[in-house]
Amino acid sequence: MSEDLKTQRDRYIAFSLAAADLLIEVDSDFCIVKTIGATQALLSGLAQDVVARDVCEIFTLADRAFARRLLTKARMVGRIEPCSLSLNQDQGPALLVNMGACYLGSGKGHTFISLTVLSDGVMVNATDRSAISGLLNLEGYSAFAKKKIGIKGETAPRELKLVRVTGLSHAMRQLPAAQADMLLGEISSVLRSQSMNGTAAAQLSDEAFSYIPSGKGEAASPEALSKEIQAAAVAVGLAENSLAPTVMNLELSTGNLDQESIAKALQYVLTDFCKPERSPISSLAQGLKTAMAETVKHFDSIRNLIDSNTYALFYQPVVSLADRTTHHYEALLRFTDGRAPFDTIRLSEQLGLVQDFDLAVVRKAIDKLDERQDITIAVNLSGLSIQNEAFRENLRQLVAPHKDISRRLMFELSESNSIDDLQAAGTFLRWLRRGGFKVCLDDFGAGAATYNYLRNFDVDFVKIDGPFLKDARDNPRQRALIRSVSNLCRELKSDVIAEMIEDEDMAKLCSDMGIGYGQGFHLGRPKAHIDVPREPVVAARRKGFTESWG
C-alpha cells in the first residue's frame, strides 16, 4: 500500500472513530469480519476473539431482532439513521449505545457499523421497557411522549401512530413460549425501526401498540407496516392473515393547550385506545375534549355515590395467630350498584374526591362503634388524603367529639399514592396516636415507599402485603427478609399483621416468622354484620381474590 493510500485510510479511520467508540465490519450474513476501536471494553473480548460472531448477538435479547432489521434495511437503502440499542455486558448492566450502519454495495458486500456509547452510558428506566421486546410500557411511553410533544420547533413530532394487532393475544396464547417471544420481538422490531431513535415505541395492551415516527428517512405506509407484521406471524408458524393489523394516526398539533392539558389528553387517548370497542381519537384536541367530558361524567357519578350514601361497609376480622381471637375488624367498602371498590377508589383519587370518601367511611365506622361497644374498627386513609391540609383539619373536627371511642378506632395508611410532605403527615399521625387512635402502615413490601414511611412515621401496626408473603412459601430468602422485618418492627414496638392468609400452612408459617396477627379468608370473610368477636374465628378457604377498598 502506498504511503498516500495508507495516510488516507488512517484519516478515514480516525474520522470515523472521532464520532464512534467502535467500528464493526460484517459480512453478508452479519457475522463480524473486523473491529476497530474499543473492542475489549464494549464486546468483552479481543478483536480476533469476536471475529465470526453474529453481530446481533452482542445486543441484549430484546434488541437482537431490531438490530437485524436495521442492518437489513441498511443493505436495502444504503444507510440508516443512528438508533439506540442495549449492548450486552459480561459484567454489570447493559450499555445504551447508538448504532449507525452503512452499506456501500461494493467489494464483498460488507456492511459497516458504528457504535457510540451514549453519555449516560448505563441503561436508564429499564423497568419501563420489556426485557423480551424492548418496547416501553404505557407509563414509560406516556412520560416519554409528553416530553417530546412539549418541545417547540422543527424537532417536535407532528403525529403519533396507534397500531392495533387484532388476533395477537389469541396467537400468543396458542404458541409455545419461545415462538410467542419471537413473534413479539419481530413486531417490536417493525415498530421500533419506524420510531424516533428506535426507542419511541410501546406496547399499551395485549393488542394495542404505539410509536412516535422518526422525523428522518422514509416512513413506512400503513399497508407496508401491516404486511411486515403479518410476515412476522407467518415466520413463527401462524397461518396467513391470522393477524389483522390496523394503523391509525393521531395528530399532535397542540394549539393553545398547556403542558398539563397535553398530558391529560395524551393519557386519555392512549388509555382509551387500549379498549378495542372504542372508536379511535384522531387529535389531541379531540382527546382533551373527550377526556374532560368523561371526567365530568365520572366526577358527577362518584359525587352522587357519596352524597346518596349508596355504599356500605363490610368488616373483615384481624385475629391473633396465637389463639385466633379477634383483635379488630378492617372496614371494606362495598357499593350497592355493583361497581368495583378498587377501581372506584382509584378513580376518586384521580378526581380529587378520595378525601370525601375517606371522611364518609370514618363517619360510618364511628356510627358502628357507637352501636357496638365490644369491637375495634380500622379504616383506610389514602396517601392523598393524609397529605391534604383541609382533610387533616376535617378529620380532626370529625373525631374530636368521639374521644370515648379513640381506643377502638384505628387508621390504616395506604400506599396507593406516595406522600410527598412526610413531615406534615408524620405530625398528623403523631396527633392521632396522642389522642389514643392506633395507626397501621398498610401494604408493607408492595413498594419502596413503605420503608421510607417506617423510617419517618411512628405506627402501632405494620401490615405485610399478601403477595409479598406468598413468595415466602418456597423462597428462603423471602422468609429471612420477612423475619428481619418482624424483628425490626418488634424493636420499633410495632405489631405485625399478615394479609391474605389462605390456609393453615400459611398461618403457621407467618407465626414461625414472628408475625402476631393475620387476616384472610381462612381466618374470616368480610361480612356486613359483625359477629360476637370473643369466639375463635371459623376457618374458611379463600377463593382467590384480594379484599381491599383502597
Look at residue 496 and give its three-state secondary structure: strand
The band of 307, judged by pLDDT with boundaries at 50, 70 and 90, is confident
Q: What is the structure's pLDDT at 447?
A: 56
Q: What is the structure's pLDDT at 208?
A: 92
> Which three cell numbers, joined as nine digits, stand for 490?
418488634
DSSP letter for each residue of 412-447: EE--SS--S-HHHHHHHHHHHHHTT-EEEEEEETSS
Q: What is the structure's pLDDT at 107?
A: 65
Domain ranges of the chain: 3-124, 128-296, 309-518
Q: Which of 463, 439, 441 minimizes the C-alpha distance to 452? A: 441
- CATH architecture of the domain 3-124 equals 2-Layer Sandwich (3.30)
Class of domain 128-296: alpha beta
Whether the pLDDT of residue 124 is over 60: the answer is no
Give the count of beta carbons closer than 10 Å to the beta carbon of residue 68.
18
Whether the pLDDT of residue 550 is over 90: the answer is no
Q: Please say whether the beta carbons of 351 and 298 come within 8 A.
A: yes
Q: What is the structure's pLDDT at 49?
A: 87
Q: pLDDT digit string (tens) for 371-389?
A: 999 999 999 998 888 888 8
Sequence length of the chain is 550
Whether the pLDDT of residue 322 is over 80: the answer is yes
Q: Which of 117-126, 321-330, 537-546 has the lowest mean pLDDT?
A: 537-546
Whether the pLDDT of residue 541 is over 80: the answer is no
Q: How far is CA 130 from CA 125, 137, 204, 511, in A?
A: 11, 7, 11, 38
Task: Choose the CATH number for 309-518 among 3.90.1310.10, 3.20.20.450, 3.40.190.10, 3.30.470.20.
Answer: 3.20.20.450
Q: What is the structure's pLDDT at 122?
A: 42
Whether the pLDDT of residue 18 is over 90: the answer is no
The band of 121, judged by pLDDT with boundaries at 50, 70 and 90, is very low
Q: pLDDT digit string (tens) for 44-67?
A: 888 888 999 999 999 998 899 999
Whether the pLDDT of residue 424 is over 60: the answer is yes
The pTM for the full model equals 0.54
Return the percentage of the chain with pLDDT > 90, whole number: 38
Amino acid occupying residue 493: K
Whether the pLDDT of residue 544 is over 50: the answer is no
Q: How far is CA 511 from CA 193, 324, 514, 521, in A?
A: 54, 12, 5, 17
Q: What is the structure's pLDDT at 169?
A: 92
Return the percentage of the chain with pLDDT > 70, whole number: 82
